[in-house]
Chains A and B, each alone.
Chain A
Amino acid sequence: MTTTKHLLTSVEVARFVANGFHRMDAIVPSDLNAEAIGIMEAGLGPVPYGTPVDEAYEPGSFTRRLLEIPAVAGALRSLVGDDPTVDHHAIHIREPHEGAAQPLHADAIIDTRVDAFDVQLMYYPQEVTGTMGGTLSVPGSHLRRTNESDTGRYQNLRGQTRLTCPAGTVVLLHHGIWHGGRRNDSDIRRYMYKIRFNPTVPQVRTWDVSDLDDPQVSAELNVYHPWSEHATSRLEVYNRIKMWRALTNNPSFDIDYWATRVANRPGRV
């Protein structure tokens, strides 16, 4: 991976831990976006599971140039760490007037890791308008323990994101986030290129930690999402505290005493 200084801040990573995604609008240059449609129409060959990025994509190839965009490289490195491997990649096309949406799901299978996570890159080479079936996602759903499309019963949730975006937008997602391709009610084919990355190093302080003590870090981690039950939202914050402790290697980090209170057992081992 290209060395970059475009690392995320602690506040941005905390926002990722709370929301399960990091979005970069129009980050890909227009010439690469123009090239992308042809690449996606032609298709990309499979990448064997676990292939290092530098082996999966040759220097100068379309995907390599996409991943070398400084902001993309920096955000990816901040979240998944150095030298990730490619789990798999795929081109997703929502056909015009195809009639149905995907059921709400998380990719792969239920994945309960707290101290490690995969990152999924979603790249949209064209402008996505409201009727083009832009990806539905549910901010903050990534720590809910559900298996694949068992959430398919849920059609709409308060605070959901029905993606609309300018051309060249990249979204990086936690592996567990609930999402799905929406029904394309337009006359335009909608393209998206997805790459799943696996970490190969501990995901500990992999971003720019110079603002680690910024009070905004706790504020980001403490958000309640509109779709999440009030009582369960407290547990969501508790689980984010656990994740932040792992990501920062700080076992005493806490917000509003949630984790400290329930672990206080004086004189017990």
Chain B
Amino acid sequence: MKQQVLVLYLNTSALDADVLAWAYYDGTGKTNPTTGDSDLPPYDTGTEALRDGWRLFQASQLIPPYPGHEYDTSFLKHEFWFEKLE
């Protein structure tokens, strides 16, 4: 049994928010995804991935900004990890 992993970055912390960025890693070896290989996301929202059979196994925590760094921006905030087993 091999794992396919889909990472979706959403517009808010809600799972039904719009997809802003994405990554895909294929443990089956059938595809070879890489950086900058697509301009269109595989799903429009996180819940759309659920409806297509992806199982959510991790979501970003909501962490308050560090004092003094409230206006800094850094990594994408709302990261959701999904898997399929094949």
Interface residues, chain A, with chain B CB atoms under 8 Å away: 100-104, 136, 143-146, 150-158, 160, 162, 180, 182-183, 226-232, 235-236, 238-239
In the bound complex, what is the Cα–Cα distance between A226 and B39 (angstroms)? 12
Main secondary structure of the interface of A (DSSP, over half): loop
> In the complex, are the beta carbons of B35 and A101 less than 8 A apart?
yes
Size of chain B's interface in residues, with CB distance under 8 A? 27
Interface residues, chain B, with chain A CB atoms under 8 Å away: 7, 9-12, 19-24, 33-39, 41, 71-78
User: Which of B10, B37, B74 is close to A146, meaning CB atoms less than 8 Å apart?
Assistant: B74
> In the complex, are the beta carbons of B37 and A183 less than 8 A apart?
yes
> In the complex, are the beta carbons of A228 and B20 less than 8 A apart?
yes
> In the complex, are the beta carbons of B21 and A157 less than 8 A apart?
yes
* B22 contacts across to A, CB distance below 8 A: 155-156
* B38 contacts across to A, CB distance below 8 A: 155-156
Contact A154 to B73, CB < 8 A, known contacts A182-B35, A183-B34:
no
> In the complex, are the beta carbons of B75 and A227 less than 8 A apart?
no
* A235 contacts across to B, CB distance below 8 A: 71-73
Contact A153 to B73, CB < 8 A, known contacts A101-B36, A182-B36, A183-B34:
no
In the bound complex, what is the Cα–Cα distance between A67 and B21 (angstroms)? 36
